[in-house]
Copies of this chain bind each other. A is one copy, B any other.
Amino acid sequence: MGYFHLMFPEVKEKGMAAIPRLVALTSEHSHFSVKKGAAALGIGTDSVILIRCDERGKMIPSDLERRIIEAKQKGFVPFLVSATAGTTVYGAFDPLLAIADICKKYKIWMHVDAAWGGGLLMSRKHKWKLNGVERANSVTWNPHKMMGVPLQCSALLVREEGLMQSCNQMHASYLFQQDKHYDLSYDTGDKALQCGRHVDVFKLWLMWRAKGTTGFEAQIDKCLELAEYLYNKIKNREGYEMVFDGKPQHTNVCFWYVPPSLRSMEDNEERMNRLIKVAPVIKARMMEYGTTMVSYQPLGDKVNFFRMVISNPAATHQDIDFLIEEIERLGQDL
């Protein structure tokens, strides 16, 4: 988000007070880092407009356009749309082509948060889910998520050459000497926000050399296949309810485990109040037994549900079978 400095170069010297009434737009399912960035960069979280999603967690383009027009009518300046390729909870891919058209029409910076979903670009089978990412002005991609690179390894890709430098350089001549006797373009210090830092990308480079693109592809295809295997096993299984219909687009499989005592209950408030407590107890038991660990969370009006995410290429079908049995073993008395 810091790269809106390109659109508003005066911010670097004058601060955000120089351009009041900026607003950023992102989906209600996007990562909280969009709001966090707005707070940290002096834009303010009130200036982040949340766009509605469909039942699969994808941003609704018509709602995006409506909110842009509405903001402009109120005198605000929509400057950034942060679309998501692989949301944290549902693993949803926003419709990037439609969003790109809207960004172009209203001259708004298009950012794609592909931190989680970017790895799918390695897969010939799955990369269509990111169609339109090539039209973004900037893209976040975390190889430490789906690609299995050890924490942390996070890339920000921007289209314009020289952008990172113009945004970040402070002309600290005592550190970034211009009279060195070698090619200065290799000096990255003045192009990044941080000064001294670990060369995280080296980890990715080593893995890429070792596995190749086809190695990464096989690993990613396998994780997605395992997620589909899990989905197929539980979608009609007694005691399971899916949070959204249809096959997951990423490896996020979102479901409730409903213990036997709740299965015959009516779908009323009492049932909901009991269901809220199921996932936290099962997770606590998972940690106690040390056998497995699956995240849970509420989202909007959906109470605590499990979100199984598969990003470890060493996972097997047997692991998925075990997981299902383990959830049932730990939760059947609840």
Contacts and interface: CB of A to CB of B under 8 A. Distances in A.
Interface of A: 2, 5, 11-18, 20-22, 31-33, 35-36, 38-47, 88-89, 142, 144-145, 151-152, 168, 170, 172-175, 177, 179-182, 193, 195-198, 276-277, 280-281, 283-284, 287, 296-299, 304
Contact of A173 (B11, B168, B298): B298
A297 B44 contact: no
Given A16-B43, A152-B197, A179-B276, 10 more contacts: A15-B20, A15-B47, A35-B170, A36-B193, A42-B42, A145-B196, A151-B197, A152-B196, A175-B297, A181-B283
Contact of A175 (B32, B152, B182, B195): B32
Nearest to A43: B15
B44 A41 contact: no
A122 to B, nearest CB: 20
Given A174-B297, A284-B181, A168 B36 contact: yes
Contacts of A11: 39, 42, 44
A20 B46 CA distance: 17
How many copies of this chain sit in the oligomeric assembly?
Answer: 2
A152 B198 contact: yes
Nearest to A34: B170
A196 B280 contact: no
Contact of A44 (B15, B144, B151): B15
B45 A12 contact: yes
Nearest to A22: B15
Contacts of A13: 39, 44-46
A280 B20 contact: no
6 contacts: A31-B195, A40-B40, A152-B197, A173-B298, A179-B277, A182-B284
B152 A44 contact: no
Given A2-B40, A89-B174, A168-B36, A198 B16 contact: no
A39 B174 CA distance: 19
Contacts of A33: 195
Nearest to A197: B152
A180 to B, nearest CB: 7
A249 to B, nearest CB: 18
A153 to B, nearest CB: 10
A181 B33 CA distance: 26
